[in-house]
Amino acid sequence: MQKKELLYEGKAKKVYKTEDPEVYIVSYKDDATAFNGLKKGTIVGKGVVNNQMSNFMFRLLEKQGIPTHYVEELDERETAVKRVDIVPLEVIVRNKAAGSLSKRLGLAEGTQMKTTVLEFSYKNDDLGDPMVNDYHILAMGLATREEIDQIASMSLKINDLMIEFFRSVNVDLIDFKLEFGKTSDGAIILADEISPDTCRFWDVNTGEKLDKDRFRRDMGGVEEAYAEMMKRLGL
């Protein structure tokens, strides 16, 4: 599979066309951003971790009946994926309070939610990815009622599967972001990535943060945290 023209470059990835119109190549970068691009930097080796960990998780979820855009890992930084039209929503799944939820609701970080919290954000960098509810989504035509319900159902199933898996490697899944895409035949599948960039991972025993919060909060040990997640996955 050969990379053709560059289709898109985002904060963390480049996407290329290939000779197959239904397959793209995603190339993961070491660039790091936070707070909607206001903070920028580099996390050495991040692209390798995010690519290989995402692929590992996509393969695991596929085995459990979750359709994803994963096709084939090409090398440590690049993966072939199915072409999808991204649904312009970010789905945030929260098991414990952290980050913006703690600030908004005055909950101490680490507070266990009585139920899983699902949040939707409108994918728009210029607007800062504002939070939206079902009514906004329907009013703006971002997704249909059936698509919202399907995305929510898939997100909750993914959460259950990932909580169990990460607990098996002594990692507490605090919260995470998902994105979904529609294939050419209209099917909704999981896309984007699952990595320390998009998830909050805390060590079960020590509470040590093993994710991008170390970059966001200038905690140090960022590369080491990403490498530790790779090690726990056996990659």
**Structure confidence by residue, pLDDT tens digits, 91-135:** 999 999 999 999 999 999 999 999 999 999 999 989 999 999 999
Report the candidate in 95, 115, 113, 211 with the shortest Cα–Cα distance to residue 164. 95
Give the pLDDT band (50/70/90) at residue 35.
confident
Residues carrying CATH 3.30.470.20, the chain: 85-224
Q: What is the dihedral of CA 144, 146, 151, 156, to 10 degrees?
A: 140
Give the pLDDT band (50/70/90) at residue 221.
very high
- pLDDT number for residue 140: 98
Pair 151, 188: CB distance under 8 Å: yes
Q: Is the pLDDT of residue 195 over 90?
A: yes
- pLDDT number for residue 37: 78
- pLDDT number for residue 38: 81
Helices and strands (H, E) in the chain, number of each type: 6, 14
DSSP 170: T
- pLDDT number for residue 86: 96
Residues carrying CATH 3.30.200.20, the chain: 6-82
Give me the amino acid identity at 117.
V
Q: Is the pLDDT of residue 179 over 90?
A: yes
- The CATH H-level superfamily of 6-82 is Phosphorylase Kinase; domain 1 (3.30.200.20)
Q: pTM for the full model?
A: 0.95
- pLDDT number for residue 36: 79
Give the pLDDT band (50/70/90) at residue 1.
confident
Give the pLDDT band (50/70/90) at residue 153.
very high
- Helix (H) or strand (E) run with residue 162 in it: helix 145-168
Average pLDDT over residues 213-222: 96
Least confident of 32-36, 53-57, 183-187: 32-36
- The CATH H-level superfamily of 85-224 is ATP-grasp fold, B domain (3.30.470.20)
